[in-house]
């Protein structure tokens, strides 16, 4: 088993990166809007479909394959630009200040609509385009061949954590987010356009969800049903980290990634329950999650 | 007619009351379910008995309930089945239908889960136009529907239904499986593997985490241990059905350094696994066996030398298939309509429909050309021997099918832009099946290396040599 320690750690990091991308958008939206967006998983898979379609178009037109990296990013921007303002203005804004049950019912309805919409547009077969994965090649580490794309994803996850922290702490937009999170009414009374902040925050959440879906596509393709699985895992990670806590989501992703990988290496039959067992243990000890608190919420 | 509709509505209401019984009554839920199912079934049977088909009038159309996955990750396997059903039914109707009656199909999506599928089955069974059900793909669905088929006395043909547990009690009157099952399917892989790689010592398994995956692992392992007792299973992984990502599993398999990796992943799961494992060198570091590998040959660039098969004889390029003009015509028509050649789930569905048509023809021949009842159709299926697109399916006394097993390895040819199956063997269906009523695992444990030696060898199944 000693020869498996390096692969185990690397797999944990790679797995955590993918899990983090699935969860960070959900936690960001909750921190600013205080809305638990059940349709988050669908937005993740729409990002995947958009990226796969763009990469397939590049391949079919025999364009420079390196354009597929740009396509991954731009497809997430495209999805966020379309769906972010549309969903926030048409549905989510009606749920502000309402009970969690109303929020969950409305976003769950949206989830069902988006899932069927994807099926109508993209059909039931899987879509694949793995050019970004192939272009980066492989590396042998600890006797195991890894995709360099997996390592890139770890780097991207770190970049997103650092980028979000910089955005929130060192930009005007971040300070506006913080003001709205701290006291919505006070922010409104001093002239902050909270409607605009909500649109921007929700669209940023959609972008992160779509980016997660787009980045996962080169290795795992995209198929119907991905949205529901992603949603459940994202909730578990958000709960472990503390709802609304970005660094919490990062640490929770590491915990869940490590739990899953340990299960696969040591007790494969526990693979499916490992993330939820980790959630149970954390919530028993810290009911508000690792970084959550009862009184004050921070981004 | 009004009575029939009221009865059916009442039967459905009774079924929907099941959860309430559990909440409000202090009786065991299982007992109540039997009572409620019984009442509902009795009503449907009563309605069916009072309708014109019992009097053997020729209907305006032959209805078939066809159960498959048309959504979700399993649709990658289920849709080729549906496509084949559409094509075969069109061809039957173009030739005048069954006994001059056109065939219509009602497709039921198995992705809705057991409760929904059962409700749909009852609804379709209540319509006497639907005399036969072609159900189903998933072993779980087949196991859930089997008792209802017996209760409602509706001939039900398992077009896929791999689990060996389906007909184990030997008492089935209305459930038929004109296919192989997990026992011959996975013994075939063990024998082929040992013939091709006799020095194998370590094996790792990665199968989906439900009955099909676990049953296959048990049967494959038991066969390997019986035929070569020193084989060691170094890893057994059961990822959740529908997992998109296998990177950690691939690392785990690589660190176990097995001689052989065996998998019966299927659908989108299999495509994902192959796409992720290929660049990471798993196919070069170990001999890989993909039990359902044929389904992805046209979609994923599988390397040479991977052991693949078709869980039966449904390989559209097999020597028998290529020698049959009907099969060649079917494959070309399928390709022209759906853009790719029929994978083995398509062939299984086509063969199941051929089996149903043969039962109608046989039943009508036996009763002097009158339209057959459901009971007469079931009697015609029992013990039947039907020529299919890819061979012969023989139905035993326990309603289980005997179908040959084709296994081979991936090879490149100039004939197709994708890998095909080469170095093939075709094992006789009955040679890999225990007797009716015999415990399969106990039977497998009695197998000896001499048994494998008596069977045909890899490469023996060629054009003109059967």
List of chain B residues whose C-beta atoms are within 8 Å of the C-beta of residue A144: 251, 254-255, 280
- pLDDT tens readout for residues B357-386: 999 999 999 999 999 999 999 999 999 999
Closest CA to A59 of A124, A119, A113, A134: A134
- pLDDT tens readout for residues A195-206: 999 999 999 999
**Residue B231 and residue B104 share a domain:** no
- Average pLDDT of B429-458? 93
Contact across the interface for B75 and A224, Cβ inside 8 Å: yes
Tell me how far apart the alpha carbons of residues B282 and B253 are, in angstroms, rounded to a whole number. 8
**Residue B87 and residue B35 share a domain:** yes
- Average pLDDT of A39-49? 94
Coil, helix or strand for A138? strand
Would you state the pLDDT for residue B280? 94
- Average pLDDT of B447-466? 86
- A75 CB-near residues (< 8 Å, 6+ apart): A47, A50, A51, A53, A54, A210, A214
Tell me how far apart the alpha carbons of residues A13 and A272 are, in angstroms, rounded to a whole number. 18
Last residue in a domain, options B361, B382, B402: B402
List of chain B residues whose C-beta atoms are within 8 Å of the C-beta of residue A261: 248
Would you state the pLDDT for residue A249? 92
Confidence band for B44, pLDDT divided at 50, 70 and 90: very low
**Residue B144 and residue B237 share a domain:** no
Tell me how far apart the alpha carbons of residues B134 and B113 are, in angstroms, rounded to a whole number. 17
The answer to whether A270 contacts chain B (CB < 8 Å) is no
Average pLDDT, chain A: 90
Confidence band for A294, pLDDT divided at 50, 70 and 90: low
**Residue B28 and residue B94 share a domain:** yes
User: Nearest-CA distance from A265 to chain B in Å?
Assistant: 6
User: Are the beta carbons of B65 and B158 closer than 8 angstroms?
Assistant: no
- What's the burial of B114, exposed, middle or buried (CB within 10 Å: 0-12/13-18/19+)? middle
**Residue B95 and residue B11 share a domain:** yes
**Residue B256 and residue B170 share a domain:** no
**Residue B199 and residue B332 share a domain:** no
**Residue B370 and residue B235 share a domain:** no
Contact across the interface for A221 and B268, Cβ inside 8 Å: yes
Paired strand residues for B410:
B421
Element (H, E) at B90: helix B75-94
The answer to whether B281 contacts chain A (CB < 8 Å) is yes
CB pairs under 8 A between A and B: 110
Nearest by CB to A221, which of B235, B240, B271?
Answer: B271
Contact across the interface for B249 and A264, Cβ inside 8 Å: yes
Residue B78's domain is classified under what CATH number? 3.40.50.2300
The answer to whether A22 contacts chain B (CB < 8 Å) is no
Last residue in a domain, options B359, B376, B402: B402
Residue B463 lies in a domain: no
C-alpha B357 chain-centroid distance: 18
- Average pLDDT of B326-334? 97
Would you state the pLDDT for residue A130? 87
Distances (CA, A) of B93 to B79, B100, B107, B356: 21, 9, 17, 14
Q: Is the pLDDT of residue B185 over 60?
A: yes
Confidence band for A122, pLDDT divided at 50, 70 and 90: confident
Residue B239 lies in a domain: yes
Would you state the pLDDT for residue B14? 42
Q: Which two tokens stand for residue B225?
A: 């241990």
Considering A226-240, B23-37, B63-77, B196-210, the range whose residues carry the highest mean pLDDT is B196-210
Closest CA to B189 of B212, B161, B217, B229: B217
Contact across the interface for A145 and B73, Cβ inside 8 Å: no
**Residue B43 and residue B117 share a domain:** yes
Domain tally, chain B: 2
Confidence band for A217, pLDDT divided at 50, 70 and 90: very high
Paired strand residues for B100:
none
- pLDDT tens readout for residues B277-316: 999 999 999 999 999 999 999 988 899 999 999 999 999 9
Question: Is the pLDDT higher at B23 or at B236?
Answer: B236
Nearest by CB to A229, which of B236, B242, B281?
Answer: B242
The answer to whether B135 contacts chain A (CB < 8 Å) is no
List of chain A residues whose C-beta atoms are within 8 Å of the C-beta of residue B279: 133-134, 138, 145, 147
Would you state the pLDDT for residue B34? 43
- Average pLDDT of B165-187? 93
The answer to whether A56 contacts chain B (CB < 8 Å) is no
Would you state the pLDDT for residue B376? 97
Q: Which two tokens stand for residue B388?
A: 């299919």
Q: Using a pLDDT cut of 90, give the percent of chain A over it.
A: 60
Contact across the interface for A134 and B279, Cβ inside 8 Å: yes
Q: Is the pLDDT of residue B15 over 70?
A: no
Q: Which two tokens stand for residue B343?
A: 């994978």
Last residue in a domain, options B402, B424, B445: B402
The answer to whether A124 contacts chain B (CB < 8 Å) is yes
Q: Tell me which residues of chain B, numbers 42 to 81, contact chain A at a CB-CB cutoff of 8 Å.
A: 70-73, 75-76, 79
Q: Using a pLDDT cut of 90, give the percent of chain B over it.
A: 75
Q: Is the pLDDT of residue B186 over 70?
A: yes
Contact across the interface for B280 and A264, Cβ inside 8 Å: no
Nearest by CB to B71, which of A15, A119, A268?
Answer: A119
User: Nearest-CA distance from A144 to chain B in Å?
Assistant: 6
Q: Which domain holds residue B200?
A: 183-311+404-453
- pLDDT tens readout for residues B261-273: 999 999 888 989 9
List of chain A residues whose C-beta atoms are within 8 Å of the C-beta of residue B208: none
Residue B465 lies in a domain: no
Residue B30 lies in a domain: yes
The answer to whether B244 contacts chain A (CB < 8 Å) is yes
Confidence band for B170, pLDDT divided at 50, 70 and 90: confident
pTM over 0.90: no
Q: What is the DSSP letter of A222?
A: B
Structure ipTM over 0.85, yes or no: yes
Task: Name the residue of chain B whose CA is nearest to A134's CA.
Answer: B279
Contact across the interface for B279 and A143, Cβ inside 8 Å: no
Question: Is the pLDDT higher at B272 or at B2?
Answer: B272
List of chain A residues whose C-beta atoms are within 8 Å of the C-beta of residue B76: 124-126, 223
Contact across the interface for A269 and B240, Cβ inside 8 Å: no
Tell me how far apart the alpha carbons of residues B369 and B373 are, in angstroms, rounded to a whole number. 12
Would you state the pLDDT for residue B51? 45
- Label the pairing between strands B156-157 and B202-206: unpaired
Tell me how far apart the alpha carbons of residues B418 and B411 are, in angstroms, rounded to a whole number. 9
User: Nearest-CA distance from A10 to chain B in Å?
Assistant: 9
- A8 CB-near residues (< 8 Å, 6+ apart): A261, A262, A265, B251
**Residue B227 and residue B129 share a domain:** no
**Residue B71 and residue B9 share a domain:** yes
**Residue B93 and residue B166 share a domain:** yes
Residue B316 lies in a domain: no
Q: Is the pLDDT of residue B210 over 50?
A: yes
Tell me how far apart the alpha carbons of residues B125 and B156 are, in angstroms, rounded to a whole number. 10
Contact across the interface for B279 and A138, Cβ inside 8 Å: yes
Residue B425 lies in a domain: yes
Residue B274 lies in a domain: yes
Q: Is the pLDDT of residue B45 over 60?
A: no
């Amino acid at each position: 088993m000693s020869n498996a320690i390096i692969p185990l750690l690397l797999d944990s990091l790679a797995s955590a990166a993918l899990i983090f991308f699935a969860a960070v958008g959900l936690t960001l939206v909750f921190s600013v809007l205080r809305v638990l967006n059940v349709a988050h998983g669908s937005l993740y898979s729409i990002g995947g479909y958009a990226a796969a379609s763009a990469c397939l178009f590049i391949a079919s037109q025999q364009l420079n394959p390196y354009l597929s990296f740009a396509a991954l990013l731009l497809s997430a921007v495209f999805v966020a630009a379309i769906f972010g303002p549309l969903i926030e203005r048409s549905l989510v804004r009606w749920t502000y200040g309402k009970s969690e049950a109303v929020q969950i019912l409305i976003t769950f309805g949206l989830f069902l609509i988006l899932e069927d919409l994807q099926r109508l547009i993209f059909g039931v077969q899987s879509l694949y385009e793995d050019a970004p994965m192939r272009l980066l090649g492989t590396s042998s580490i600890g006797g195991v061949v890894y995709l360099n794309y997996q390592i890139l994803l770890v780097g991207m996850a770190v970049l997103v954590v650092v980028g979000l922290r910089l955005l929130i702490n060192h930009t005007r937009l971040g300070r506006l987010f913080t003001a709205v999170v701290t006291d919505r009414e006070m922010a409104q009374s001093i002239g902050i356009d909270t409607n605009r902040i909500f649109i921007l925050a929700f669209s940023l959440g959609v972008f992160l969800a779509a980016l997660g879906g787009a980045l996962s596509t080169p290795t795992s393709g995209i198929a119907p049903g991905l949205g529901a699985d992603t949603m459940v895992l994202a909730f578990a990670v958000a709960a472990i980290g503390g709802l609304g806590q970005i660094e919490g989501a990062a640490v929770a992703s590491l915990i869940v990634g490590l739990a899953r990988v340990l299960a696969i290496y040591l007790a494969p039959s526990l693979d499916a329950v490992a993330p939820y067992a980790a959630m149970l243990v954390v919530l028993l000890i810290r009911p508000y999650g690792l970084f959550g608190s009862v009184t004050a919420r921070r981004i | 007619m009004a009575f029939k509709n009221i009865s059916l509505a009442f039967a459905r209401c009774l079924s929907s009351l099941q959860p309430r019984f559990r909440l409000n009554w202090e009786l065991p839920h299982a007992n109540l379910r039997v009572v409620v199912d019984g009442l509902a079934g009795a009503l449907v049977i009563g309605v069916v008995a009072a309708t014109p088909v019992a009097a053997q009038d020729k209907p305006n159309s032959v209805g078939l309930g066809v159960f498959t996955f048309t959504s979700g990750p399993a649709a990658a396997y289920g849709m080729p089945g549906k496509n084949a059903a559409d094509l075969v039914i069109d061809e039957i109707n173009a030739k005048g239908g069954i006994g001059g009656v056109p065939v219509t199909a009602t497709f039921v999506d198995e992705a809705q889960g057991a409760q929904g599928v059962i409700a749909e089955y009852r609804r379709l069974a209540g319509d006497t136009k639907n005399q036969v059900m072609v159900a189903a793909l998933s072993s779980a669905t087949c196991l859930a529907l089997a008792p209802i088929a017996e209760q409602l006395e509706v001939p039900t043909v398992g077009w896929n239904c791999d689990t060996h547990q389906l007909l184990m009690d030997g008492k089935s009157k209305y459930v038929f499986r004109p296919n192989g099952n997990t026992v011959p399917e996975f013994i075939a892989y063990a024998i082929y593997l040992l013939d091709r790689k006799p020095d194998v010592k370590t094996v790792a398994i990665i199968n989906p985490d439900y009955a099909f995956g676990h049953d296959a692992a048990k049967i494959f392992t038991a066969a390997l241990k019986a035929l070569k007792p020193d084989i060691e299973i170094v890893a057994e992984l059961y990822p959740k059905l529908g997992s998109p990502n296998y990177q950690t599993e691939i690392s785990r398999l690589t660190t176990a350094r097995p001689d052989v990796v065996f998998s019966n992943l299927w659908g989108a799961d299999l495509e994902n696994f192959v796409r992720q494992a290929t660049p990471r060198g798993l196919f070069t570091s170990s001999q890989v066996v993909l039990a359902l590998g044929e389904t992805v040959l046209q979609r994923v660039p599988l390397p040479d030398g991977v052991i693949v098969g078709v869980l039966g004889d449904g390989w559209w390029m097999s020597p028998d298939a290529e020698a049959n003009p009907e099969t060649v015509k079917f494959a070309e028509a399928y390709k022209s309509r759906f853009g790719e050649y029929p994978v083995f789930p398509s062939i299984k569905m086509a063969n199941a429909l051929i089996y149903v048509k043969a039962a109608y023809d046989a039943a009508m021949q036996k009763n002097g050309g009158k339209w057959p009842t459901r009971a007469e159709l079931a009697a015609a299926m029992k013990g039947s021997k039907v020529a299919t697109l890819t061979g012969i399916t023989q139905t035993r006394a326990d309603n289980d099918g005997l179908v040959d097993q084709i296994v081979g390895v991936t090879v490149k040819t100039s004939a197709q832009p994708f890998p095909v199956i080469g170095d093939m063997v075709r094992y006789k269906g009955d040679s890999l099946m225990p007797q009716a009523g015999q415990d399969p695992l106990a039977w497998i444990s009695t197998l000896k290396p001499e048994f494998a030696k008596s069977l045909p060898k890899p490469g023996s199944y060629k054009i003109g040599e059967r």
